[in-house]
Amino acid sequence: MRGSIARRLALMFALAAILITSTSAVLLRCSLKQSLETQMHNELTLRHSVLDPLLAKYESPAMWVVVHEKLDSLTPTDERVRYWVLSDNADYSYGGAMPDGLDRSKHADGFSIMEVPDQHCPMVLLSKTIPAMGSRPELRFIVGLDSTPFMGTLSTFTKTLILTSALGIALAALLGYWVSRFGLEPVRRLSNQANSLPPGDSKQRLDTEALPDELQELAVSFNGALARQEKAWCQLEGFNANVAHELRTPLTNLIGQTQVALAHERDLSELQDLLQSNLEELERMGTIVNDMLFLAGAESGQRATELSDVSLCEEASKTVEYLEPVLLDKQLNVVIQGDMRVRIDRRLFHRSLANLLQNAARYAAPASTITVSLVSNGLQAEVSVSNVGEPIDSVHLEHLFERFYRADAARARSDAHHGLGLSIVRAVASMHGGRVFARSAEGLNTFGFSLTSETLR
Ligand SMILES: Nc1ncnc2c1ncn2[C@@H]1O[C@H](COP(=O)(O)OP(=O)(O)O)[C@@H](O)[C@H]1O
Ligand SMILES: [Mg+2]
């Protein structure tokens, strides 16, 4: 969801305020209403408690004249309190018919509400039965209390409550907005800092010192991303330099040889030699460029597609056979151990195994044995090539699979080995969802790669 965090927080503050104030307002109003009702009931009960014994005491209609006078005197002029005595006998009746027209003598004793025509608020009634005594029949005595003053209090209170609640909510929203703007200040500072990072300077980092805890993590991750970018940038720069360097040697040779040849008259055989030599240089450049293209493809996430079911042992034997001349040169013996069936791109497999075997042949002690191991390791097939040879320094071991990296820098550029062989092994492994490894221990140097379950299906 887009939008301003400050606005969102202000809205949340306002919603919280609405919830809190409306709940407390409803509770307050309920409690006030209840206490006002209790007050009205108390007043009615009080009046009954004073008058009931009087009414019960008098028996004859003559004596009831006194009662009527007493009730007259107790009825205020504004008729806030009213009395009714209901009886079939008109001598005892008082107060006339009930304003709502209901026959209240048939209702149960107790509190009730009576709507009065022309009056906004109802009357609260307390009815009681006065038992018959002597000649006097049973009577019903009702005291009514106008609820208008009480309801007035309640409505004034409600209005005040609504007003203060609205004010409170508005204030909470404003305060929320201000608090969140104030609280988000470090975020703004961080973004300003990120904005002011100068382009081209890959060493720049955000200053995490002045940031609050919550933003430290973000800034640290951001700095981590910058560091990774810097590393990739350095690799790219180094890589460019390497490519230029690798191509410069054959180009210099080509130019030099051609210039020398052109300086004098040459006979056909000399020119043929020159072309032959130039062709070799061109082929070398072609190999580098092709290898680079292959690596670029693998790096962009290309996967092996031409998969076929093969026996690794059979395929390895074919590679060994193909390299027979190189191996015979140094009287090397190759042993293949283990076997398994996998689904792989056999062309790529040959290419990477050939690279490993060529390296092994190059660095193996003369007349020693090179071992090709094919091991199933859980869901992975591991292919490794070991040869007897000089121990490799661990400083080099972890870098040997990088492009153009050679442990022996002095010998590096003297021959056709341009340091891409192991990078290609790594690319083939990653195209099969695997990885590479190198070990140097007990006089044995082992280089290998794995193929994951995806290709073992
Ligand atoms: N079997 C091995 N024994 C010792 N060093 C090796 C072996 N295989 C590879 N290396 C080291 O790894 C480096 C990189 O190998 P590679 O990528 O095949 O490039 P290149 O063979 O063109 O030099 C080699 O230059 C060498 O220093
Ligand atoms: Mg090599």
Q: What is the pLDDT of residues 385-437, one digit of tens each?
A: 999 999 999 889 889 998 888 877 655 555 567 889 999 999 999 999 999 99
Which ranges of 407-447 does DSSP label H, i.e. alpha helix? Answer: 409-412, 421-431
Q: Under a CB-based contact definition with an 8 Å cutoff, are residues 140 and 129 in contact? A: yes
Ligand with smallest separation from the Cα of 389: 1
Domain with CATH 3.30.565.10 in the chain: 308-456
Total residue length of the chain: 457
CATH superfamily entry for domain 308-456: Histidine kinase-like ATPase, C-terminal domain (3.30.565.10)
Confidence (pLDDT) at 410? 54
Does any ligand 1 atom lie closer than 6 A to the CB of residue 421? yes
Indicate the SS3 state at residue 433.
Answer: coil
Does any ligand 1 atom lie closer than 6 A to the CB of residue 359? yes
For residue 168, CA distances in Å to 16, 180, 268, 334 come to 11, 18, 103, 88
**Alpha-carbon Rg of the chain, whole angstroms?**
52
- For the CA atoms of 340, 341, 343, 345, the dihedral, rounded to the nearest 10 degrees, stands at 70
Q: What is the pLDDT of residues 179-219, one digit of tens each?
A: 888 888 888 888 888 888 887 777 788 888 878 888 888 88
Q: Tens digit of pLDDT per residue, the chain (457 long)? A: 467 788 888 888 889 999 999 999 999 999 999 999 999 999 999 999 999 998 888 888 888 898 999 999 999 988 899 999 999 888 899 988 888 888 888 888 999 999 988 888 999 999 999 999 888 999 999 999 999 999 999 999 999 999 999 999 999 889 888 988 888 888 888 888 888 888 777 778 888 887 888 888 888 999 999 899 888 888 788 778 888 888 888 899 899 999 988 998 888 999 999 999 999 889 989 988 999 889 988 888 888 888 899 999 999 999 999 999 999 989 999 999 999 999 999 999 999 999 999 999 999 999 999 999 999 887 789 999 999 999 999 889 889 998 888 877 655 555 567 889 999 999 999 999 999 999 999 999 999 999 885 544 4
User: Residue 332 Cα, ligand 2 centroid: separation in angstroms?
Assistant: 17
Q: Which CATH number fits domain 5-160: 3.30.450, 3.40.50, 3.90.700, 3.40.390?
A: 3.30.450
Does any ligand 1 atom lie closer than 6 A to the CB of residue 408? yes
Three-class secondary structure assignment of 262-297: HHCCCCHHHHHHHHHHHHHHHHHHHHHHHHHHHHHH
Does any ligand 1 atom lie closer than 6 A to the CB of residue 401? no
Name residues whose C-beta falls within 8 Å of residue 309's C-beta, 6 or more positions apart in sequence: 341, 342, 343
Best mutation site among 422, 446, 449 for ligand 1 pocket (most ligand atoms within 8 Å of CB)? 422
Domain with CATH 3.30.450 in the chain: 5-160
User: Residue 440 Cα, ligand 2 centroid: separation in angstroms?
Assistant: 17
Q: What is the pLDDT of residues 125-135, one digit of tens each?
A: 999 999 998 88
Say if strands 369-377 and 436-441 run parallel, antiparallel, or are unpaired. unpaired
Confidence (pLDDT) at 147? 93
User: Residue 42 Cα, ligand 1 centroid: separation in angstroms?
Assistant: 105
Instruction: Look up residue 456 and give its amino acid.
Output: L
Does any ligand 1 atom lie closer than 6 A to the CB of residue 417? yes
Does any ligand 1 atom lie closer than 6 A to the CB of residue 418? yes
Q: Under a CB-based contact definition with an 8 Å cutoff, are residues 282 and 250 in contact? A: yes
**Atom of ligand 1 at shortest range from CA of 387:** 1
Does any ligand 1 atom lie closer than 6 A to the CB of residue 82? no
Domain with CATH 1.10.287.130 in the chain: 213-299
Q: Which CATH number fits domain 213-299: 3.40.50.450, 1.10.287.130, 1.10.3720.10, 3.40.50.300?
A: 1.10.287.130
Does any ligand 1 atom lie closer than 6 A to the CB of residue 288? no
Q: How many helices (H) and strands (E) does the chain have?
A: 12, 11
Residue nearest to ligand 1 atom 1, measured at CA: 360
Confidence (pLDDT) at 244? 86
Q: In what order do the strands lie in the sheet with 139-146?
A: 81-86, 139-146, 123-130, 110-114
Confidence (pLDDT) at 314? 96
- The residues whose Cβ lies within 5 A of ligand 2, an ion, are 359, 421
